Amino acid sequence: MPVPLTELTRQHAALESELRAAFEEVSTSGQLILGPHVRRFEKELAAACGVQHAVGVSSGNDAILLALLALGIGPGDEVITTSLAYLHLAESIARVGATPVFADIHPRTFNLDPETLPGKITDKTRAILPTHIFGLPADLDPIQKVAAEHGLKVIEDCDMAIGAGYRGRVVGSIGDVATLSFYPTKNLAALGDAGAVLTNDASLADRLRRGRVHGLEKNFLVRDLGGAFRLDGLQAAFLSVKLPHLAGWTQRRRELAERYNKLLGPLPLTTPFESEDYEHVYNQYVVRVRSGGREPLRLHLDALGVGSRVYYPRPLHLQPCFEPLGYHPGSLPVAEKASSELLALPIFPEMTREEQDEVVDAVRDFFLGD
């Protein structure tokens, strides 16, 4: 039985009549971009994330770009970020004309390691941009402390971590501003591209709202350039259908992860980091396989039809596009090692026990033979 890494058709089948009704409502309203469905979703999202303002945008990528623009970060500025992440963090920093400064990760959590921050701060540093990798919150208290000491902004990238908990708080409500993606692989998935920016700062929220429409103010006036980062009414209406289910889906992901931990724990691999301080939402269930075992395991699972994926095969500081920044192999050893040893296994709320058993058997078979 093949098992996909993730899939949405079961979720959509279960919600079919509500999704169709949302489509009818938007299509007959004629208000297709921004408008009332976006405003409604923004209110619901802000409440769910424990923040004052949510601003719907066109993707998680555009959320980061817009947040950086709205904070006034640009040429001459430096932003510290993690090297083990999707492209959009470092890319957006570079796109606004600032310089990404890559910090190494913690070897057990794979999140930006706060201990490395002091060595990265210069008089050009303006912000710290951690992600909550795989759905596990970054260690925000020490990050916030360093930021406060140096007058830096903290931008939380919550793409993989909507609803995750850090010491009793919800991610996205802790830093100065936070970004979300509703890309179809995320825990709250649109039926296409969508994203959002969260903040408790009303004047920043105004800049974000203007910035997603080119920075336009009344009478075709533009003081600060933005871009075309608008959210569609249709995606917002679909997301409003799905948002009430998110907590239940997250609970299901956590149960699946707990069962994986139990069944895979005895094997020679490392299961994800767990701690009472963190509520992981398992956008990805990622194991670490040492001693060159990752690629053979990946091929073994592939041959059995079990989905898996490498997040991320190349740390960002070693991308050719960032070569001018002067990093080289060995610059960030923890991130480099992790990128050769991590493998994501199938996890999604609708996954059956039989499917999970199939994954576990395939992994067990790789290490122990049958």
Ligand X SMILES: *Cc1c(COP(=O)(O)O)cnc(C)c1O
Interface residue list for ligand X (CB under 6 A): 59-61, 86, 88, 159, 181, 183, 185, 193, 195
- As measured in angstroms, the least distance from the Cβ of 328 to ligand X is 27
How far is CA 111 from each of CA 132, 240, 288, 355, rounded to the nearest angstrom? 7, 30, 14, 29
- As measured in angstroms, the least distance from the Cβ of 290 to ligand X is 24
Residue 109 vs 131, nearer CB to ligand X: 131
- Residue 196 · residue 39 · CB < 8 Å: no
By CB atoms closer than 10 A (0-12, 13-18, 19+), residue 218 is exposed
Complete edge-to-edge strand list for the sheet that includes strand 169-170: 169-170, 165-166, 278-279
Q: Identify the three-state secondary structure at position 25.
A: helix
Token representation of residue 239 = 């997301």
* CB-based closest residue to ligand X: 60
- As measured in angstroms, the least distance from the Cβ of 158 to ligand X is 11
Residue 147 vs 157, nearer CB to ligand X: 157
Residue 132 vs 147, nearer CB to ligand X: 132
> Residues 6 or more apart from 191 whose CB is under 8 A from it?
12, 19, 184, 234, 235, 238
Residue 114 vs 307, nearer CB to ligand X: 307
- As measured in angstroms, the least distance from the Cβ of 267 to ligand X is 26
Neighbour count for residue 212 (Cβ, 10 Å): 26
Q: Which amino acid is at 301?
A: L
- As measured in angstroms, the least distance from the Cβ of 308 to ligand X is 13
Residue 59 vs 271, nearer CB to ligand X: 59
Neighbour count for residue 230 (Cβ, 10 Å): 18
- As measured in angstroms, the least distance from the Cβ of 181 to ligand X is 3
Residue 183 vs 229, nearer CB to ligand X: 183
Residue 59 vs 308, nearer CB to ligand X: 59
- As measured in angstroms, the least distance from the Cβ of 135 to ligand X is 11
Q: What whole-number distance in Å separates Cα of residue 350 and Cα of residue 25?
A: 27
Backbone region of residue 110 per phi and psi (left: phi > 0; alpha: psi in -120 to 50; beta: other values)? left
